[in-house]
Amino acid sequence: MIKLYLSKEYGCKKMLKQKFVYYQEDDMYVGYLEEFPDYMTQGETLEELKLNLVDIYKEIVSVQIPFIHHIAELEIA
């Protein structure tokens, strides 16, 4: 899903939304992007976890991580 928003400093920008899965383990939040479950990260807060997930996404789309496994949907008649 792509969402457009306006910013005074930057003009019109695209905002990409990604679903993520997370859980709390002791005092840490652990999670991964739904589309890329092999790449987990953690944070002391939910906001820190989200920032770490954004970093992972940027690395994935910039092809810094090799052999990315993807999740896709197959329609069977």
pLDDT in single tens digits along all 77 residues of the chain: 434 444 455 555 567 889 999 999 999 999 999 989 989 999 999 999 999 999 999 888 887 777 878 778 889 98
Q: What is the pLDDT of residue 11?
A: 56
Tell me how far CA of residue 8 lies from CA of 11, 12, 15, 25, in angstroms: 6, 9, 15, 40
Q: Which residues contact 14 (CB under 8 A, 6 or more apart)?
A: 2, 3, 4
pLDDT of residue 12: 58
Report yes or no on whether pTM surpasses 0.95: no
pLDDT recorded at residue 8: 53
Position 1 scores a pLDDT of 41
